[in-house]
Structure 1
């Protein structure tokens, strides 16, 4: 059975080779299709070079309203001449949580309308002008730029070469179909009536699924129509089939996406199927409207290629007008019918293979997945610190942090790590390694990877801290007990503050991070002299003093690693807010200066002893 999976491709290649050998005219048409598809691929690669931040930020801004989402879909597809790329980017951003399902549906509706501009371009210029003459200069300059080191120049080169290949492919398809008129008239095989509509709609679906491009199917249809090789009615059916067949791109793009991506693919399928059915049922009415609009626009009575482009635009616009008022209902239906798959706490929630094609969305998904990883580490740390994670998230029990717990227990951190942390951490690191980043994205990926390691290091340190924490929180030495309860209280408060920042409660995260850093420096009992005072005043012996010194170091490292992680993961995503945060962020020297000033403002130890106050 395994061998049978490899039979379809060789069989198709043999059949294609036999068909090309039989008729050289078919070779020109097939070569035109191949060159056109290669041009589409080059064009997509070119535009991907410009998806390193600008397009993504514009997409987030352009989807705040439904009409903006529609407009973005139209303009992006018109510019890129690739609804497939727009679809993939939209699914990626939806999977990363950067846009909502309603906005994603709006973009896809607009992309369907935007893809009709390609039909107008091909029908109005491609089949009436010798565009091969324009293809050659584009290819020359495009290939020269492709070999440059600059990502921008390379992307521009792919775009120019892609357009050149598109023009060249259209040229070869056109002359191929024109050559058929001397040997065979394909129009003689046209099928009239409803049967013909259904057959050619199915052919349009099949061709689009095979070539993965409705543009390629439309070009093939328009060039065949211009050469008189298919009838106008059959061409209309082929365009409907191309529209329905293009949903396969969304479905394939959603295979590696999360539940939101799959819901968007389902919405795309519903829209295109409904639009196709409406176009088939009311095709005669559409033809009448096309004739009337054609006369008003000055389209010639026998200019069937432009009429086909008008028909393609008209039935897509009708589909949008029909479904636009029901987008809210469609979102509700999809959310009710398509449920998320059951998952464990160690299952990735945001990263998936579909996001690898759009680095900016992929990195944003990593950031959210690291928040998920932090929540798992948060739960384990809370248990080690003898406080319920749910209560700590709500800010309950903080006042009891300095009070010994009623019952102490040892948490198997290794077991929790293997079950809840290691699988998720491994998936994050593997995903980051697969993202093809450029320039600033590479630095961002490095920071995210370092943040994930900071979390793991913090978890390892609290594992080492736990042994003495459990032992000395209930020590008979009140001074030693107080110090370990203080270590526990510091970490409990830190986790609570980081949780507040993660939830967006803090208005100024950058300032909160700096305050936490200052407090971490202040509370280091080795640096502030508290450990020396305890030893000097014989409140603890040298044996436990070394344990306390080591555990204070673990606490300091845990706090430092968690704060460093939080700066990367919980920092504002908007570029302007990042600049503001950077401006108010304290550097190392400023932090030490603040600590020194606060130390000087404290009550001197001698005065404290005179007043009976315990120095800290």
Structure 2
């Protein structure tokens, strides 16, 4: 009984240390790996490699999965590349087995436990809250605690062997061990812990190599349970990513299970492995690598299949809030930037219902462009979306650190500019609707004035369509100066018409207001672009 209690205590220490280590590594490396993942999205190979590397270093497939989910939900990552990162993360989890085998079983690390924990504790205490120094201290402390938990389990398992008779379970087939791995991993929600326990049992002789391999196959299947549960009430993209994870793990398990006997009956002796621990981690890495090689050419087709399987129309803001928890500030900030750009593109569409200019088709590139409804309905839908995004930004702001707040505050200010830009055009529509002058003449003059805005709106549309393009501040100021110049020249022309009695007094008022609203609109668009893509010194 004492050995069992010691084993459970060691397992608890190990799991707690893993959780602390994941959090600390996330603080140290999350920003870096998010940038790596973004840069690697240009190819499927880069996606698989970045997913593998990020999981191997961060030691957390759930953290990588969260980053992938945010990037997909924000529209910055195509689904096919997200699938590549997910299957890469699956391969990255095999690194845990190698680390435990090479360091935990082959090297005596007990002498460094106390120094790691002591130094880590001191660094943690001296560091400021949420600082990198504190994260470094927590990393050192967690590594020491993790080694201590591993040593405790190794010693307790050696004692368990004395009262355990493996031959009593010889009648159980490998499939029974697979179910054990699946159920146990689904309960504790940690494939790393399952691998650790299996390696301990294999090292102590409690199970043979084929049984251990079956447990690991089941553990890979069990890790999908958490994602499935998390994706049941999520958005389409969340369910698609979960579906890709399930299909990959199910496929690799179906592939790996029939290979247990041939691999360990023929290949294992041929490779001259003398240590079953190496045999297990090689097998785990091998069947995941084969799965990646087989799925890699089909990633595009799998993405299309998942899009057909999970497709429920929903507003972009609903998807954003379902996909990304507000406490994940760096990831949420990325998604907010994408959502702001979508709102700007939709605002151009809605405004053009009034301006009626031949704008380029790139405006329609925003996802979830509203269906052709009446202008008031589209205007209300846009304002609702802006309101939802503002509420989400405020939620994220409540969890943000000081260095993260300026970007979120800029986002709120941008939404105010965007609201004023659409309100200016709405005021134009209201003025025209209530004017009692001849419609044909007024519409001709309105069209003549609004056409002056077309080059500027095309320029704004082009900037919004290229997220990574740097907009020169001087170009924005020049746009605003030209808008003011056109406004003043048009006002001078109106005064000329009124002196010549070419227009009536009411037409003078409507056209003056029209030109002023258009100038205000351009002023607000300049404000939006300055905040959406601030100059380098403000980034």
Per-residue deviation at 1:369?
1.8
Give the alignment partner of residue 282 of structure 2, picking from 310, 313, 326: 310
Per-residue deviation at 1:438?
4.3
Q: Residue in 1 aligned with 2:464?
A: 502
Which stretch shifts more, 527-536 or 142-151? 527-536
Structure 1 residues not aligned, in runs of 5+? 1-22, 397-410, 573-577, 584-616
Q: Residue in 2 aligned with 1:407?
A: none
Per-residue deviation at 1:238?
1.0
TM-score normalised by length of structure 1: 0.74
Give the alignment partner of residue 99 of structure 1, picking from 51, 74, 77: 77
For residues 395 and 276 of structure 1, the distance between their equivalents in structure 2, rounded to whole angstroms, comes to 44
* Contact 1:139–1:164, Cα closer than 8 Å, also in 2: yes
Give the alignment partner of residue 324 of structure 1, picking from 296, 300, 320: 296
For residues 120 and 203 of structure 1, the distance between their equivalents in structure 2, rounded to whole angstroms, comes to 22
Q: Residue in 1 aligned with 2:312?
A: 341
For residues 230 and 69 of structure 1, the distance between their equivalents in structure 2, rounded to whole angstroms, comes to 37
Per-residue deviation at 1:506?
12
- Residue 133 (structure 2) pairs with residue 162 (structure 1): no
Per-residue deviation at 1:518?
1.8
For residues 313 and 163 of structure 1, the distance between their equivalents in structure 2, rounded to whole angstroms, comes to 24
- Residue 106 (structure 2) pairs with residue 144 (structure 1): no
* Contact 1:258–1:349, Cα closer than 8 Å, also in 2: yes
- Residue 333 (structure 2) pairs with residue 371 (structure 1): no
- Residue 188 (structure 2) pairs with residue 208 (structure 1): no
The change in CA–CA distance for 1:256 and 1:55 in structure 2 (over 3 A counts) is farther
For residues 556 and 212 of structure 1, the distance between their equivalents in structure 2, rounded to whole angstroms, comes to 58
Give the alignment partner of residue 231 of structure 1, picking from 208, 227, 232: 208
The change in CA–CA distance for 1:544 and 1:95 in structure 2 (over 3 A counts) is closer
Does the residue aligned with 1:62 lie in a helix, a strand or coil?
Answer: helix
* Contact 1:472–1:481, Cα closer than 8 Å, also in 2: no
Which stretch shifts more, 45-54 or 507-516? 507-516
Q: Residue in 2 aligned with 1:40?
A: 18
Per-residue deviation at 1:134?
2.6
Per-residue deviation at 1:548?
6.4
- Residue 350 (structure 2) pairs with residue 380 (structure 1): yes
* Contact 1:52–1:441, Cα closer than 8 Å, also in 2: no
The change in CA–CA distance for 1:352 and 1:293 in structure 2 (over 3 A counts) is farther
For residues 440 and 250 of structure 2, the distance between their equivalents in structure 1, rounded to whole angstroms, comes to 76
For residues 440 and 101 of structure 1, the distance between their equivalents in structure 2, rounded to whole angstroms, comes to 31
Q: Residue in 1 aligned with 2:488?
A: 525
- Residue 478 (structure 2) pairs with residue 515 (structure 1): yes
Q: Residue in 1 aligned with 2:368?
A: none
The change in CA–CA distance for 1:562 and 1:243 in structure 2 (over 3 A counts) is same
- Residue 267 (structure 2) pairs with residue 267 (structure 1): no
* Contact 2:174–2:211, Cα closer than 8 Å, also in 1: yes
Does the residue aligned with 2:206 lie in a helix, a strand or coil?
Answer: coil
- Residue 382 (structure 2) pairs with residue 421 (structure 1): yes
- Residue 225 (structure 2) pairs with residue 248 (structure 1): yes
Per-residue deviation at 1:456?
1.6
Q: 1:42-57, aligned counterparts within 5 Å? A: 42-51=20-29, 53-57=31-35
For residues 505 and 283 of structure 1, the distance between their equivalents in structure 2, rounded to whole angstroms, comes to 49
The change in CA–CA distance for 1:506 and 1:426 in structure 2 (over 3 A counts) is closer
For residues 440 and 84 of structure 2, the distance between their equivalents in structure 1, rounded to whole angstroms, comes to 67
Q: Residue in 1 aligned with 2:371?
A: none
Structure 2 residues not aligned, in runs of 5+? 364-373
* Contact 2:449–2:490, Cα closer than 8 Å, also in 1: no
* Contact 2:424–2:521, Cα closer than 8 Å, also in 1: yes
For residues 29 and 102 of structure 2, the distance between their equivalents in structure 1, rounded to whole angstroms, comes to 30
For residues 210 and 408 of structure 2, the distance between their equivalents in structure 1, rounded to whole angstroms, comes to 53
* Contact 2:210–2:261, Cα closer than 8 Å, also in 1: no
Q: Residue in 2 aligned with 1:58?
A: 36
* Contact 2:351–2:425, Cα closer than 8 Å, also in 1: yes
Give the alignment partner of residue 562 of structure 1, picking from 514, 525, 534: 525
CA RMSD of aligned residues (A): 3.8
Give the alignment partner of residue 166 of structure 2, picking from 180, 184, 187: 187
Name the larger-Rg structure.
1
For residues 477 and 83 of structure 1, the distance between their equivalents in structure 2, rounded to whole angstroms, comes to 64
The change in CA–CA distance for 1:216 and 1:525 in structure 2 (over 3 A counts) is same
- Alignment length, in residue pairs? 524
Q: Residue in 2 aligned with 1:220?
A: 197
Does the residue aligned with 1:49 lie in a helix, a strand or coil?
Answer: helix
Does the residue aligned with 2:278 lie in a helix, a strand or coil?
Answer: helix
1:346-377 deviations in whole A, cap 9, x for unaligned? Answer: 75455543364654442232222223323443
* Contact 1:469–1:484, Cα closer than 8 Å, also in 2: no
Q: Residue in 1 aligned with 2:258?
A: 281
Does the residue aligned with 1:239 lie in a helix, a strand or coil?
Answer: helix
Higher helix share: 2
For residues 323 and 412 of structure 1, the distance between their equivalents in structure 2, rounded to whole angstroms, comes to 46
* Contact 1:203–1:241, Cα closer than 8 Å, also in 2: yes
* Contact 2:120–2:140, Cα closer than 8 Å, also in 1: yes
Q: 1:546-585, aligned counterparts within 5 Å? A: 552-569=515-532, 571=533, 579=536
The change in CA–CA distance for 1:289 and 1:65 in structure 2 (over 3 A counts) is farther
Per-residue deviation at 1:491?
5.2
Does the residue aligned with 1:99 lie in a helix, a strand or coil?
Answer: coil
1:162-195 deviations in whole A, cap 9, x for unaligned? Answer: 323322221222233233245x316355344xx4
